[in-house]
A and B are shown apart, each in its own frame.
Chain A
Amino acid sequence: MSSAVLTPGTAALVLFGAFFLLLILRVPVAFALGLASLPVLLIEPRLSPMVLFNEMFKSYNSFILLAVPFFLLTANLMNVGGITDRMLRLSRALVGHFPGGLAQINVLLSVFFAGISGSSTADAASQGKLFIEAQVKEGYDLSFSIAITAVSAVLAVIIPPSILMVVWGGVISTSIGAMYLAGIVPGLLIGLAQMATVHAYAKKRNYPVYPRAKFSEFLQAAAVAIPALVTPVIIVGGILMGWFTATESAAAAVLYAAVLSLVVYREINATQFWEAVVDTGKLAAVALFCVGTASVFGWLMAYYQIPKALLSNVQDLGLGVVGVGLLIALAFLVVGCFLDAIPAIIIVGTTLQPLAESVGMHPVHFAIVGIVSLAFGLITPPYGMCLMISCAVAKVPLRFALKDTLIMLIPMLVVLCLVIIFPDICLFLPRMFAPDMVK
């Protein structure tokens, strides 16, 4: 805005300078974003701290974000209600006899978990408790066990349903049904890449193997797990059939998980149920509070047209879809190191959208590239939620598992590059099943 006192450059300097200074002082990210916005709000005569409240209110007053507590509640109910246990048994019957059996189970369970839950942090927390200690007991290295738990947790936001896709759809208006379908193949490819990585590790370090499950054992495990495994079909199918909207699909997942744990598997009591609910409230609120302050920060960036200033140089480069795709992935990967994924979508996703549009990148392709990159941000230091949670479960500092995490990230980055270069990897499923949603 021409009447602003601060130029875009000065405003950016104040905003980002204050933000990083606060991070160095170990102010939690959510508060750092809010505090960093204050100087500008006070300096600029046309603005006042009221903007803080207006923007936070506007960001929370959104029906779409309701999906966040619902997806977390689904995950928590799965864990206490015996759903996770049953999928664990099936995973063991399927991949337990591969080299590095328990770690393979860890990855495959994340794939199954991802199909019901849309939250990677919930996956990292529950599987951290389930696997890290057990793996170490069986002779796996601790840093390997932490790393594989953290990296496999990112699948939860790539394979539908996904909190990030719901938020993306709300902020950048892209069809959530189409994104859900588009996430399936990239998610499975990343899962495969992780299983290959485990295989390589297991061969090199002689990690243990379980005896192959009998076919009857497999059938039994599969039969018990089927009601849980059809969840993604119900959720994605329900959206495509128009049974419910994307936000409602999250509530449907809660209801389904509640019915499974309370009526079908019957392994949950009132105390556990209440604990799952309170835990959901805490996790969701802490994540969402940060969304509010990030919205203020993002609003100020837009007010000073900082994104436009940043992107003006990029648009002169004359990049194609692949070049822009790589650039977008890089931007999200870097931002993902310092921000949680949802605030990153709010601040950076909206910034990059015109760039993607200018080179004719398909909106769903743009969304998947962005979401996969941000999912990887969940395991990159210094602010990688999944890695932080896994390390917290094992009671070691983040640095401890860094090397193995970064090694495991390499094959995942290869998959990301493939998705960027060949958009059909993500686009062919939505084109096949929901052509209206991808135009």
Chain B
Amino acid sequence: MSTLLRLAHQLLIALLGITVLVLMVPVSMQIGSRFFEWIPNYMWTEEMSRFFFIWMVMIGATVGVREGLHFDVDIWANPSPALARFLRWASRLLIMGFAGVVLYWGIEFTKFGWNQTSELADLPMWMIFIAWPVAGFFWIAFLIEKMLVDSERDDQHGMHL
């Protein structure tokens, strides 16, 4: 299971890097088309870059959940081990709740976009909207992984919530 999640994580990182690079293409083309006649000025390039951008944000936010990159506010001076454990569990469960919302209503959102297409490139909108439920799913998976690791460690130290 953890191997699977590690692989998923690697895959997401690769996709993240690719989306960043792909973003550069249409914007560079836009600039270039103004100076060189042989570079075509397509309208859909702008839309494409926006859609890759959305995927970049959602994939990156997902990688961020596993790597703990989302910043929180440092309010507690020196929390006791018990308080620190409580805060860790509370915040993870709450994020999990949000992930559940994003997964459940994200599926509705994707269904809502099922028959829509984009204005310029005529892309099916569900291909973009599905980024939300996909992200929600991986948030839940990564959070469960973290909780399992934590509770194993707590057991080893003879601590229980």
Contact = CB atoms under 8 A, between A and B. Distances in A.
B50 A62 contact: yes
A285 B94 contact: no
A286 B71 contact: yes
Interface stretch (A20-28, A91-99, A210-218, A403-411): A20-28
Interface string B59-79: 111011001011111111100
Main DSSP-derived SS at the A contact region: helix
Chain B CB within 10 Å — which of A53, A70, A244, A388 has the most?
Answer: A53
A382 B74 contact: yes
Interface residues of A, number: 61
B109 to A, nearest CB: 4
B140 to A, nearest CB: 13
A382 B56 contact: no
Contacts of B5: none
B98 A34 contact: yes
Contacts of B64: 282, 285-286, 289
A303 interface: no
A48 B109 CA distance: 11
B55 to A, nearest CB: 9
Interface string B101-130: 110011011001000000000000000110
28 contacts: A22-B94, A26-B73, A27-B91, A27-B94, A27-B95, A31-B94, A31-B95, A35-B97, A38-B101, A50-B108, A50-B109, A53-B109, A61-B50, A243-B35, A244-B34, A248-B27, A248-B30, A277-B21, A278-B20, A281-B59, A282-B67, A284-B20, A285-B59, A285-B61, A286-B61, A289-B57, A338-B73, A383-B73
What are the 6 A-B residue pairs with the smallest beta carbon separation, nearest first? A285-B60, A28-B70, A289-B61, A281-B16, A251-B27, A53-B109
Interface of A: 22-31, 34-35, 38, 48-50, 52-53, 56-57, 60-63, 65-66, 69-70, 73, 243-244, 247-248, 251-252, 254-255, 274, 277-278, 280-286, 288-290, 292, 338, 340, 381-383, 385, 388, 397-399
